[in-house]
């Protein structure tokens, strides 16, 4: 699973990196977060056809950077508490699961990350956290889904009437990453971003096939190093969480 990650880029950096259009920029800017946990507000990149009162203003989707809550709440949910249990969606079943299939059909997104954390089991009950990140310092584009949930207890003109949430899609960990954890976030290659985000795709299941967007990077793309168990506590949040443990150099071998 993917239950923690780091996202410290400034808004303007993400707007440039993901080529967000001017009318897709959020007013708010999130603070750097080195310990992103479920239910927090996060950035998500999506493409949406502009609408006013349900009427489409254009046929062309606009690439946007939106602030959403991590933990997907399906539109049919009775209350938003279900989101805490839907932080990940397995790629193997995402097209069929009732909680995800409608979002997978037309509400796919990218979730920017500087890297993510996983915990390797050690002898006994202890687990060692690792930070897994691009070797070149670039941004990871994690595959995600987003959904809108309407709060029946709020007035139609209440700005909190609608809640936008998301989930991270996971897949089998590749190569040596599997020695840390058997699952990892599914990554989307830059040249497939537009296809993945396009809500007009008639057969989204084709995106998951052999020609789909699963990360197929060359050697040296991702690296991992052990970090302090301070990351275990979500109240700890700072760049020191990303630092290798004292005396533990960054692993020479790339994960993939």
Picking from 69, 61, 68, 70, the residue whose alpha carbon sits closest to that of residue 23 is 61
Which residues are the active-site residues?
2, 118
Report the 10 Å Cβ neighbour count for 218: 7
Count Cα atoms within 13 angstroms, Cβ side, for 119. 15
Burial of 130 (0-12, 13-18, 19+ CB in 10 A): buried
Picking from 116, 90, 117, 115, the residue whose alpha carbon sits closest to that of residue 104 is 90
Rg (CA), the chain: 18
Phi and psi at residue 50, to the nearest 5°: -60, 140
Beta strands in 61-194 (DSSP E): 62-70, 88-90, 108-113, 115-121, 127-134, 140-150, 162-172, 183-185
60 token code pair: 């062309």
Phi and psi at residue 243, to the nearest 5°: -75, 140
Cβ contacts of 234-238, under 8 Å, gap ≥ 24: 234/4, 234/35, 234/37, 236/35, 237/33, 237/34, 237/35, 238/34
55 strand-pairing partners? 52
């Amino acid at each position: 699973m993917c239950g923690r990650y780091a996202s410290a880029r400034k808004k303007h950096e993400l707007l440039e990196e993901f080529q967000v259009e001017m009318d897709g920029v959020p007013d708010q800017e999130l603070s750097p977060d080195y310990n992103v946990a479920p239910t927090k507000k996060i950035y998500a990149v999506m493409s949406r056809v502009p609408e006013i009162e349900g009427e489409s203003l254009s046929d062309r989707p606009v690439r946007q950077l939106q602030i959403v809550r991590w933990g997907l709440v399906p539109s049919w949910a009775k209350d938003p508490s279900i989101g805490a249990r839907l932080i990940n969606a397995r790629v193997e079943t995402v097209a069929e699961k009732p909680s995800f299939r409608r979002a997978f059909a037309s509400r796919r997104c990218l979730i920017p990350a500087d890297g993510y954390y996983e915990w390797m089991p050690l002898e006994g009950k202890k687990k060692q956290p690792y930070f897994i990140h691009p070797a070149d310092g670039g941004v990871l584009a994690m595959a995600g889904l987003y959904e809108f949930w309407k709060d029946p207890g709020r007035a139609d003109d209440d700005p909190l009437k609608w809640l936008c949430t998301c989930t991270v899609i996971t897949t089998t960990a590749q190569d040596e990453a599997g020695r840390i954890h058997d699952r990892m976030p599914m990554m989307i290659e830059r040249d497939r971003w537009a296809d993945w985000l396009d809500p007009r795709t008639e057969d989204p299941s084709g995106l998951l096939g052999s020609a789909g967007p699963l990360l197929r990077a060359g050697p040296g793309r991702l690296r991992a190093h052990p970090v302090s168990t301070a990351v275990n506590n979500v109240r700890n949040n700072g760049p020191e969480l990303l630092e290798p443990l004292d005396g533990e150099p960054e692993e020479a071998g790339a994960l993939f």
